[in-house]
Amino acid sequence: MNSAQHPSAKSLLNASRRDLAAVIVPLFLLAGCAPHKSSINGAASKGTSVAPMTATATPAGQKNKPAGKPFPDTFDWVPLFDGKTLTGWAISDFSGRGQVRVADGKLILGSGVMTGVTWTNDIPRMNFEVELEAMRVDGSDFFCGLTFPVGKDPCSLIVGGWGGGVVGISSLDGEDAANNETTKYLSFENGRWYKIRLRVMPAAIQAWIDNEKIVDVVTTDRKISIRIEVEPSVPFGIATWSTTGAMRNLRLRRI
């Protein structure tokens, strides 16, 4: 063989470099196309604590109501309104509500679609009496919609509803204060105080206005409920409808 048939050392070195490049370059290209890990996984791989990215939702209709203070263990009258502040009360979540304020010893519920306050502490559910004085300041509909518990069920005493004169219990067997046996028609003067008393017992609901008994209904085997509009008043609250009302001397006792 002559020298032309044998590759030189230099040509062998160049060929080796070309072969090596042919292998290395595709490897780099493949590496560049590999998917990148997320920063969360990257952080986790370094031992950093990362909160999982999960969505949470509050169940529909869930209401975060405060536990409130227990009702005093007494059969004496317990004041529910101090005449100065809204302590113990929250403004009821009625759409289109009016202004709620305290002035001159009165709790004033301004005219709106519906305006009210809801008690935020514990309340007896049976065997109790409520007393208050209420006034229709202006307007022509109910100036005292008193919602209260009857055991596990809510109920309302409506004073001055349906155009100004209807008094009764809402609701009994699905019928509201204008359509059951407790319905009464009375005349109420704007600017005058009326004393209202309500008594709840296991078998009956009774109510008085100015010492005249206006409700005395047996509730045994009756379905007791409220109209859906007053749901924000549950379990115990006072509301007005398109009327400015005032309350004072609100108190409750066990019986």
List the domains of the chain with CATH numbers.
1-51 (no CATH), 78-254 (2.60.120.560)
Q: In the prediction, which pLDDT does 169 show?
A: 98
Average pLDDT value for residue range 51-75 = 53
Give the residue among 136, 166, 152, 169 at the shortest CA–CA distance from 247: 136
Mean pLDDT rounded to a whole number for the chain: 81
- Range with the poorest average pLDDT among 24-28, 150-154, 169-173: 24-28
pLDDT in tens, 179-212: 999 999 999 999 999 999 999 999 999 999 999 9
Q: In the prediction, which pLDDT does 67 show?
A: 58
- Range with the poorest average pLDDT among 26-35, 89-98, 176-185, 228-237: 26-35
Is the model's pLDDT at 34 over the cut of 50? no
Structure tokens at 152: 């596990």
Residues in the chain: 255
Question: 111, 239 in Cβ contact below 8 A?
Answer: no
Q: What is the DSSP letter of 78?
A: E
Name the percent of the chain lying above pLDDT 70.
74
Q: In the prediction, which pLDDT does 65 show?
A: 53
Is the model's pLDDT at 22 over the cut of 50? no
Is the model's pLDDT at 167 over the cut of 60? yes
Is the model's pLDDT at 148 over the cut of 70? yes
Is the model's pLDDT at 147 over the cut of 70? yes
Higher pLDDT pick, 59 / 69: 69
Distance of CA 130 to the CA centre of its chain: 24
Average pLDDT value for residue range 43-62 = 29
pLDDT in tens, 121-130: 999 999 999 9
Cα separation, 241 vs 231, in Å, equals 14
DSSP codes joined into one string, 77-145: -EES--SS--TTEEE---TT---EEEETTEEEE--SSEEEEEE-S---SSSEEEEEEEEEEEESS-SEE
Cα separation, 93 vs 237, in Å, equals 11
Is the model's pLDDT at 29 over the cut of 50? no
pTM here? 0.75
